[in-house]
Structure formats: structure tokens, C-alpha cells
Structure 1
Amino acid sequence: MPSDRLGGADGPGPIRSEPGSLLEHVVVAVFGIDEEDRICYWGPGAQNLFGHEAGSVLTRPAAALFPEPAPDEGPGPAAHLAERARALGYWRVRLPALHRDGSVFDCGFRVFPMTGATGASVVIGLASRGDELDRVKTNLSFLDSLFETCPIGLVMLDEELRYVHLNQAMADMDGIPLDEHLGRRMADIMITSDEGEYQRMLRSVADEGRTVIGTLVGLRTPGHPDRDQVRSVSFFPLTGAGDTRRGLGGLLLDVTDREQAILEATAARRRLALLDRAAASIGTTLDLDTTARELVGAVVPEFCDASVVELVEWMDETEAFDPELPVATRRIASGTTLPGPAVELVSGLREVTYPPGSNTHQMLSTGRPLCFTVDEDFATRTVVHQERAQLLLDSGLTCILMAPLIARGTVQGIAMFGRSAARPAFAEEDLGLAGELASRAALCLDNARLYGKVRDIALTLQRALLPSAPAAGPYVDISHRYLPGSRGTEVGGDWYDAITLPDDRVALVVGDVMGHGVPAAAAMGRLRITAKTLARHTAEPAALLDELDACAQEAGIEWATFLYLLYDPRTGRARIANAGHPPPLVRHRDGSVHSVGEVLGVPLGVGGVPYRSVEIEIPEGAVVALYTDGLIEARGQDIDTGIDALREQLRAPLGSLEEGADRILANLLPDTATDDTVLVLARVSGAPGRPPARGTGSPRRASS
């Protein structure tokens, strides 16, 4: 082995242990001893440890590295090292060593033989100061003991805040096995309700090098899902020396008992957050079933494992509750996260009857939320059928909280919330939360119920006033459709009619009263009846609109559009007057379509403007389309675009009028249409002796 291979002054620095480890600052000397016990190799670390430069020590006896032995001690330490290495193949020992300055220090040696390139045997020695080795051993022992026995949670996170190392105390604190932490993000284990503040704190330690000491954090973990904890946490950045992983080190201490106030505040924030979310999500529509489902969705699974909402079927809302009578309810919403029996329990029954003396009667008698333990006594008293009672006992629910849904001083229904053994039983604070949720839901359900009654009245009135099968005489075939808007919108004032007149004439009428609900339906009925009466005594459409406008003003109807078309099959001509309504469309046999838009007056009820009429010729077999704006208006679309779309639908082969009406509505009306819609298709034919057609349906003359 060449003596100056690594011994020059310009060679690499001292050999050290792996960067980032506890051995990083321990100098390791490497040297070689030949068969004559002379130094044949001298590394940079040896120069640092013993103080000799390579040029001054190479080829010298290895005994120069040790203090002079006593005369009666036999072979010196260097010879002993070489002999043990060759005899054992590997040997370690602690010996006094001699520094160049004459000082003696304790040194640890590791020696083993090697065969050089020339075949000669060389003993390689590795040496480090004994005190440095002792320090590393002490630190390692301390850290091992710390991770094994320390009651404080110790954790190491990478830069993405994922677990890379932790102790058993940390795993026990989380209730999750140690190995199931590794690779997971801390946010998946420590679940806080502080809107991300804890995670932002950790990020600041990782990104900005901040140190956090003794910060209190309220949390839950998947291992203890129903146990609120408070921990004192301290975090510091890891340096990432050498090529080691950067990240965070942390110490966490469970101080739940000491910080019960924080725990209670965390629970209170969670309840308030649930109430806020519920307030925003319950009552978004005026539909009973939707409102009930929103309540169930707000509480499952955050507040409970199962929930149902039931409406009480009172004979009369004003009747007093009699605890001696059964209570009949209708279940309109349910939900659960539990398996099998619980699903059947909450969703398998629509009509429910509670016998006198049930826990439901007890709750209704108090008018306050009550909590009950699910046992055989509860099941027997509350559930009528034995098989349903057994289903309750098998469901996994251990406690049920019942809350009355009270609005306007009347019990509207019942909300029930159930928890399994995996959660703690309902506490007093949970009763208050259930009461708040029930109050909110009861108000929304009451609004939906009242709205439904008013809407049913308006629909009934409107259907009674609209013609079910308008007669149109022998020369006009009629197909008509009326579609109320979506359930979230009150019924409107759209209407239509076909009026048979002397000499086989037919008046086609369509109108739209501004507004919704019972007032709009009543106004529509007055206009329809008045228009029908006037049609039998007024031959001129413009004059009819003048009379109808005066009647609208007298009745307080401020705005209503109206279209009147009077068809005479003997001449094939029609006279039209319009009070602000979308124009009729005429489809000819060849598929061409044109609108009669030249005549347009102000809506009824405005007053002060005379109406005029136009006369057009309608060819044999042509189809006239009358409609209301619900068919052609849509959000973000103007009326002209809607009329063009209807025109395209009319150009297609119609087939029968019934088929054509269904196809047009299916293609033009979205499922979410919010306005009422009327469509009337009328196919005309001429009476015997009708004169030949003279035009294409263009206006002939106007009168006022």
C-alpha cells in the first residue's frame, strides 16, 4: 500500500460518521500497520486524532502511537493490536494512546487484517477518542430510553407534516397503533375544530423555522372519536443537516383534565358550528319532505348515528294533546350510518302509531326534548309491533333523544336522534342543541305546510276555472296543455279558453295575470268568465278588449296580458286583438311558420290606450299556436330567442296535435321551469263554400 496515497496535506478532510447522526462530530482515524508492525498508511483522521503529519509518521514503528510500556509488560500495545487482529480477524479494545504533544488520552480501537495489492498482509486500524465515544453512547442510550419510557408524546414529522417517527406514548394518546401513524398526515390523526389554525401553526414551523412552546389545542382523534382532548404542544424545526430529512420535532402532553374549560369551549364551538350549518341548510325550499331531509342531513353523522322526522297527523290543529289517546305520525325523512337493522328501523315504516303511555307521549306532554335509554322497557312502551321492537333492540342504538317540532304553539311533529355505543350518551348540552335544531326545523316545516295549503287552494281554484275539454266546433281541432311551475313557485294566473259562437265561429283565448297564488287564480277566473260573456255579445275583438280592460280596472287587476283570436270557417279568416301578449304563430301545411306580431296593445288594467285588431287569412289545415311566456322565457334568454325556438319546433312534422304538444313541451321546457305554461294548438278547416285562399296569412286590415 503506497505510503502517501491519502497522506498528503491536500487530501480529503477527516473521515467522519454519516452526516446528521449522533456520530457526526466523532473523528475516526484510519491507519495501517504492515507485517513489521510499522505504519504503512496514515489517513487525514489519524493526523487529526494523533497530531502527526503523514510524512513524519509513515514507516515508523506503530509503537510511536502509544505510551512506552513497562519493561515487564512484554510486547507493546501496537504489537498486541496487530497480533490480535491477525489471530481473531477483528478485535476491539480501549487503550491509552499518545498524542504528538506528549499527552495521553483514552482511545477506542477497531482492528482487522487486509491483504494488499502485492499480497502482503496489512492490519487496518480505526480509532476514536474514548470520551467522544462515551458521549455518543450516553446520548443514544438516553434517546432510546426517552422514546421507550417517556410519558410525553414525542413525534417527528416530515416537511409535508407526515409522521416519520413517534413513541408509544404518542400512539396511546391517539388510540391508534404506532405503525398506522407512519406516512399519514397529522391532520388525519389530530382533528381540530379551529378552522385550520393548528395546521397553519405547524406550517409556520416547517416553512419559517418558528418554534412553538406550550400551545394548547382542543382535538379529537379517530382512535377516540367521541373523546375531546386538550393537548399542550411544542414544535421545533429539524435542521436537516447533511442529507437527512427536514421537518418538525414535537412534544405533546395530554392536559385534558387540567384544561376542562378549553374542552368545554371546543364542544361549544362545535355545537355552534353545527347550528350555523343547520340554519343555512334547513328551509331552503317550501317543501315539507325536502325540509325534513335537510334536518336529517344536518345531524347525521356529526351529531348522531340515526335520525328521523315525523309529522303528527292531528285531526284538527287546534285540538289539545290527550295523553290517553294514541299519537299517529307520518315519517317523512330518515337517515343512519349504522348497518342492517338500523336502516330497516328508520326507513322501513311510513305510518307510525305510538300507544298511550309511550315515551313519545311523555316528551309531548312536557313540550321539551327528552333523552331515553334504549332497553326492553323503552321498546315495549314505545313500539306497537313486537317485531319492530326487536328491530329497535338489534339496531345498535343505545340512547334516543326526542324533540317536539313546535310552531305557532302547535306540535307539528317529532324529531328523533339516536346514538350507538360508539358515542357517549347525550348530555344536557345536547338536549339544548336538539331543542334549537327542532325549533328551526319546526318553523320551516310550518311555513312549508302553510304554503302547501295555500298552493293547493290556488291549484284547485285554477283547475276549477280552466276548461277541461274546451269545445271548438266542427271546424277547429284543439290540443291544450297547462303546466304549473315548479313546486318552489306559487301557482300563477295563466289561462286559456275556446269559445263556440254562432255561425260555427270559434274564439281562441289565452291570457296571463301578473302575480301568483290565490289572488292571481281568482283574477284569472274573473277575466275568463267576463271574456266568455263579452264574446257572445261583441263581434269586434278590439271592442271586446276595451270592455275587458275597463272590467280589469274596476276589479283592481293592474296587469294582465290577453290575446283574442276570432276564426270564421266560412271565410277562412281570423280577426285578432292583442293586449301585450306574445304573438300567435301560424304553421302552414308546407311547414313554414310565421308570427302575427303586427298588432300589439298595452296589457289589461293599464287603461287609457284604445286597442285595435287585424284580420288575417288562415289556410286550410294550418295550425295556430297560442301560448304564455312560461314557454318562451328562460333565465339568461330573451323572448325573441324563445319564440324562434318555438318556431323551429312547429316547423317539424307535428303528427297529431296531441303528439305535437307533448313534443314541444318536452323539448322547450326544462325540468326546473319555474313559471306556469300554457300551450294551445288549433288546426283549422274551412266550412263548405269557403272562398279560395287569397294570401299567406298576412294581416289584411286593421280596425280600432
Structure 2
Amino acid sequence: MWGRGADAPVPAIGVLSGEGVMVGWSKMAEDLLGYRSEEILGRPGTDLRMERDRAERIWTWRGGQGDEDHRVGMLDLRHRDGTQIVTRSERIRIDTPGGAPAWVIAAIPASAFTIGTSVLEPLLAAAPVVMVAWDTDLRSAWRNERAQGLEGVFPYFQVGRPLPEDGSVAPPELVRTVLAGGEPVLDREVRWSQDGEERTFSTFLFRVDGLDARHLGVCLMAIDITYSRARERLALLRRASVEIGTTLDVQQTAQELADLAVPRLADYVSVDLTEAVMPGPKPLERLGPMAAGVPVFRRAALTSVQGGVPDALWPQGQPVYVPPSSPLSAVLESGTSYFEPVVHISPGTWLDDDPHRAHVVRTMGMHTLMMVPLKARGRLLGVATLIRTVDETPFTRDDLMLAEELAARAALSLDNARQYTVEHDAALALQRQLLPRKLCGGDAIDLASRYLPSDVHQGVGGDWYDTIPLQDSRIALVVGDVTGHGINAAASMGRLRTAMRTLAYLGLPPDELLSRLDELYARQDEEEDRSALSPIAATCLYVVYDPATRRCVMASAGHLPPAIVRPGGEAAFPDLPTGTPIGLGLGSHRSVEFELDGGTLLALYTDGLIERRESDLEEGMRRLSAALDDGTAPLDGLCTSVIDTMVTEAAEDDVTLLLARTRRL
């Protein structure tokens, strides 16, 4: 029987014969059910049950769930006035002197049931965690005050209520497994939402056994970890500040947003960007009222928990078609989010005009949806769509706020990438326009060149190369590097190249030409009152070759020496005086003269070809010397081979290479 502490309730006692007739009745039983002993003794015990079906009552009374000698559970008993009383009952088999079985039944009202001692009862009743106990029939036998507060959400927490088959907090099959095997279930996360508010619990299920090792039922303990959920959201936002916008590539930034949100927030995410942000080879039409299904933007990124992304209608890079009735169109027009916690696919919804999407929604089980605009600096850049398929929990308003915050951070990175792309494309176009389109070596030398813009920083620097035909069949070779990146560096390079060509046509020797160029740009800085923090500065190597005399004269303005590969020999770097860079106004330059045999190879380059963070310039020059080992190979193929050998990863600076081979006359 139950414990006999000072506060333990006194049970009502009844004795039932083997034939199911009441043969014993206590004073507490009379007080509980209203029957006096003379009214109940000799009557079938089934008269006290609430079940309407007589066969069901008899089956229950006679141990239809087993012939145990001892059983604890819930009983719905009938009061004399016809009302129902839910009791916590204990049935014990006894043997009469004649050997016939009988059962002693002790019952107390479920509302008066205590755990057992005056010390534990108030402690557990007022515990700051949800606690519920079910008996072996999976009927609620006890709950504490915290569980009573959740009665509106989980009505089966009420004492006497059976556990429903669709119980989300404690699935009956799981409770039966714990009851049978005794293995507890620890830290099972359960989420539910009401009126847009989401609550999250960490639940624990464990079996309760009596002192005699009999199974009494299963206890649920649930801890509200909603605040922990908020910390998870904050951690996700912190990750967004680190993982979104790691590059200045639009598609990469969009993909980082999608990858971060799956599966932490959604099961499927797509990011679609407008034509201004992600242009394609063919312009898209604009959203208009005249025709449905016009393309509005392009698919920039998508991620799904499903392998192969079967829940996507359009792959990455393709135009996305939406009808005017689609929420996507509404988000584009209004710039506000669309929130549909429960997706309705019945007739009369926006999916009627989009049968392809409707098919995917049904097939993949898409049941909750958010569409969030990507806006930055007053510009609408695109829309991020978030969907759940595997996760059965609907999106909440908190999820929408989190998605909007992620979208806002991603939009700033996307806008930065967009502006970078615009400037990069403009600078690259200007750079390529200012570089020579055709190299002219005449009868003196064969030429080949390569130019690779930087993959980092602002993408384009001020590297340039040139070949200038001079009088008497001579030819000038030039390679240079303007400090800085972007449009300004490209424009400065164009001005330097023009000025150098003008001075070269005057027939000046290399050292004098570089000194004049230095003086010219230093004076220009003074006249234009340029900031001392951003003067024009450039390194340059100027080489003049005379095929008639095979003499080669060169001078350097702070630039690296060329590599010279003589016929049958190895690459060597001449001891060239390093003059001051162009733009400083010092005019300190000296020329060096060499004689070059026919078939000699000259390699002019910028530091982007040989410089790496992990190695110094000397190491880079040794690598270049090895790459030029086959100096007799065709120049175009040799140019490609050298670039492939020297540039093995994303270049941090522009890469320029100019190869010239003297002809045998």
C-alpha cells in the first residue's frame, strides 16, 4: 500500500470476491462514494465502474489486462449520485481460508494522491520543471504545479486523462518502450508554438519502480530551454558576421547565407538576386502586369537537407520565373517579408497560378514558408526563401525576425560585392583597353605576353607592358607596376604608358627617359596638389634592343631585373642598378648595356609573378629560372607554361609576363 506519512491520505478499502461481488466496505469507501455498507455489500463490483458497456466493466474488474497478484492504476468510479470520481487505485490478490481468491482494492481520489513523504511532496510539486507521471495504463496519475500551467497546451497532463496516440511531448510508443525496458530517454528536445510564440523543452522519460521492484509507471520531466534557444539564435547571428561575406563574390556570398541557415533555421533555402546584382549573358524582363511567368531575377544560391536538392525548381545561375500572384512578386514590390506558418495547397491560394511549385510543395512536404527581402542602402537586391520539410515545427515570428536579421547582414555583404563587381569590371575593362592589343617586334624579336588581374583586393592593379618600335629598327620593351589597385591605378598606368611612348619616340636612352618621366610626374603631383599620402609611384623596367649591333641597353626605376636565357644556357638575372621609382622626383637612374646573341630569351615581369607570402623574392626568382629552363620552346606555349608553374593559387597581385626572343640575322 501507499506510504503512511503524516500527510498521506487514508484510502477507501473494498474487498471483491472471486465472483466479482463486493464482500467488504470501509468507512472511507462510504465517504468517498456515498454508499453505505448495507447498500453495496452483495452487489457486483461492476456497478461502481463508469464504463457504459457491461462486458467492458466485467473484463476490467476481472483482470482483463492480466492476472497479476498486484496492480496499480487509475480507476473511474461512480458516486452514488452518478458523478465520476477519478481515483488512484491499488489491487492486491489474497486467498480466503477456503482457498478461493479475493481482491483487496484501496483507492484515493487522484487529486489527493501524494508522492509519499511530506518532505518530497512540496519540493516536487513546486519544482521549476514540468513533472508528470503516468501509470502502467498510460493514464496521467500525478503532475506538479508547473505542469498544471500547461494544461491549455497539453490537456493530457490532467490527472486521469489517457496519453493520446499523437502526443508530441511523450509519444505513447516511446513511453511503452521506457516502461518495458527501463532504459531512460534523456534530453529529447520538444518544440511547440502557440499564437506565434515558440517554446522549447528538453524532456526526460524514466520508469518509476516500487520498493518491491514492481513497475509503477513512467515519469516525464521537462525543462524549459526557450532561453537557451535564444542563445542559439544569438550564436547564429555571431556566426553570420564571420561566415557571410568572406569574399567579394556575389554568388559566394549568397551561398554562404543559404549554407548558414540550413539546417539551423530551415530545411531548404534559396537566394534569388535581381539582374542589377547578378547579371547574366542575356538581360531579363522586368516584372509587369501584362503576362504571368516573366523572369524577375536569377537563382544565386540554394541549399537543402535533401541530397541533390530535389526541392528546387531552378538550378543555380538560371532565371527564376514567378507569376504576379506569387508572394515573391509581392515581396519584390513591397520590400516586406512574407510569412506563411502553415502552407495551404487547397484551391483558392496563390499556388493555383503556379502548378509547378504546387507539385514540388506537395511532393517534398513543404509545410511552412518565409520569404525575406534582401535590402541594403535603400536598394532591393533579391529575396531569400526559407522552407521546412523534414522539421515538422512551423516557423514562428521569432524565426522570421531571425531570418530578417540574417538577410540584413547578408544584404550588406551582397551590396559590397555588387559595388566591387561594378568597379572591378570597369577597372578591368579600362586596364585591358589601355594595354597593347597587339605586340610588334618587327624583324628583330619574337614576342609573347600574359596579363592576369588580381583575384583579391580590388581585383585590378596598375601593371602594364608595352613594345615600342623605334628608329633604325630598334625596339623598346617596357614592363611596369603602378602602386595601388582599382580604377585609379589603371588610369595612372594609362597616363604613364602614354608619356613613356612620347619620350621613347624622342630617342632618349633608357636612364634619361626614366629620369625625365620621374621629373614629369613629380612636377604634376605638385601642380595638382595631390595628397602626400597618395602620390603617383610606379616601378618600371625600360629595355632598348638594336638588332643591327645586338646591343641591349636597359635601366630600372625600382623594378626587378629581367631574366636572360642565352642559347644553351640557364636563366640569369643581370646585376642591374636599381633606380628610384617613378614619381618621387629624385631622377637617380643608370643604364647597363649587354650584347645578346641570336636566340637569346628575355623575360620581363612584375612582382606578382614571383612574390608569395610564404617565400621571398629570391626564392621566386629561382622558381622563375627553373620555369624558363626550356628557353627554345615556342614563346606562346612557354608563356602559358611559366604562368601555370608560377601561379598555383589565387594571385594577390596582378601578374604580368613579357617574353622576347632575339632573332638570328
> Does residue 406 in structure 1 map to residue 362 in structure 2?
no
> Does residue 674 in structure 1 map to residue 652 in structure 2?
yes
Q: How much does 1:505 deviate?
A: 0.4
| Structure 2 Cα separation of the partners of residues 348 and 623 of structure 1 | 46
Residue identity opposite 1:368 in structure 2: T
- Cα gap change, 1:500/1:269 in structure 2, threshold over 3 Å: closer, same or farther? same
Residue identity opposite 1:265 in structure 2: Y
Normalising by structure 2, what TM-score? 0.65
- Cα gap change, 1:426/1:379 in structure 2, threshold over 3 Å: closer, same or farther? farther
SS at match of 2:271: strand
Aligned residue runs from structure 1 range 154-553, under 5 A: 172=170, 190=187, 219=189, 228-230=200-202, 253-255=220-222, 262-313=224-275, 324=289, 328-338=296-306, 342-345=310-313, 347=315, 350-372=318-340, 373-376=342-345, 381=350, 386-420=355-389, 422-486=391-455, 489-553=458-522
- Cα gap change, 1:383/1:628 in structure 2, threshold over 3 Å: closer, same or farther? farther
Residue identity opposite 1:309 in structure 2: V
Unpaired runs of at least 5, structure 2 = 1-132, 144-162, 192-197, 207-217, 280-285, 526-534
- List per-residue Cα deviations over 1:92-149 (Å, max 9, x = no partner): xxxxxxxxxxxxxxxxxxxxxxxxxxxxxxxxxxxxxxxxxxxxxxxxxxxxx99968
1:617 corresponds to: 595
Contact 1:514 1:560 in 2 (8 A): yes
Q: How much does 1:542 deviate?
A: 0.8
Contact 1:307 1:417 in 2 (8 A): yes
- List per-residue Cα deviations over 1:520-576 (Å, max 9, x = no partner): 000011111111111010331111001111222244453210000000000001110
- Cα gap change, 1:354/1:273 in structure 2, threshold over 3 Å: closer, same or farther? same
Q: How much does 1:470 deviate?
A: 1.3
| Structure 2 Cα separation of the partners of residues 359 and 518 of structure 1 | 40
Residue identity opposite 1:522 in structure 2: A
Residue identity opposite 1:640 in structure 2: E
SS at match of 1:457: helix
**436-445 vs 334-343, which moves further:** 334-343
Q: How much does 1:344 deviate?
A: 4.0
| Structure 1 Cα separation of the partners of residues 455 and 595 of structure 2 | 38
Aligned residue runs from structure 1 range 545-584, under 5 A: 545-556=514-525, 557-584=535-562
Which is higher, the Rg of structure 1 or of structure 2?
Answer: 1
Contact 1:405 1:414 in 2 (8 A): yes
Residue identity over aligned pairs, in percent, reads 36
SS at match of 1:591: coil
| Structure 1 Cα separation of the partners of residues 318 and 490 of structure 2 | 34
Q: How much does 1:671 deviate?
A: 2.2
SS at match of 1:286: coil
Contact 1:171 1:177 in 2 (8 A): no
Contact 1:355 1:381 in 2 (8 A): no
Contact 1:591 1:652 in 2 (8 A): no
Report the aligned-residue RMSD: 3.7
Unpaired runs of at least 5, structure 1 = 1-144, 154-167, 192-218, 235-250, 257-261, 688-704
Residue identity opposite 2:470 in structure 1: L
| Structure 1 Cα separation of the partners of residues 443 and 593 of structure 2 | 22
| Structure 1 Cα separation of the partners of residues 611 and 511 of structure 2 | 27
Normalising by structure 1, what TM-score? 0.61
SS at match of 2:516: helix
- Cα gap change, 1:348/1:481 in structure 2, threshold over 3 Å: closer, same or farther? closer
Contact 1:454 1:517 in 2 (8 A): yes
Contact 1:354 1:382 in 2 (8 A): no
Q: How much does 1:412 deviate?
A: 0.6
SS at match of 1:610: coil
Q: How much does 1:300 deviate?
A: 0.6
Residue identity opposite 1:603 in structure 2: P
Aligned residue runs from structure 1 range 134-149, under 5 A: none
1:638 corresponds to: 616
Contact 1:379 1:392 in 2 (8 A): no
- Cα gap change, 1:527/1:417 in structure 2, threshold over 3 Å: closer, same or farther? same
SS at match of 1:570: coil
| Structure 2 Cα separation of the partners of residues 483 and 182 of structure 1 | 71
1:205 corresponds to: none
SS at match of 2:519: helix
- Cα gap change, 1:389/1:265 in structure 2, threshold over 3 Å: closer, same or farther? same
- List per-residue Cα deviations over 1:38-90 (Å, max 9, x = no partner): xxxxxxxxxxxxxxxxxxxxxxxxxxxxxxxxxxxxxxxxxxxxxxxxxxxxx
Residue identity opposite 2:411 in structure 1: A
- Cα gap change, 1:176/1:289 in structure 2, threshold over 3 Å: closer, same or farther? farther
Q: How much does 1:233 deviate?
A: 10
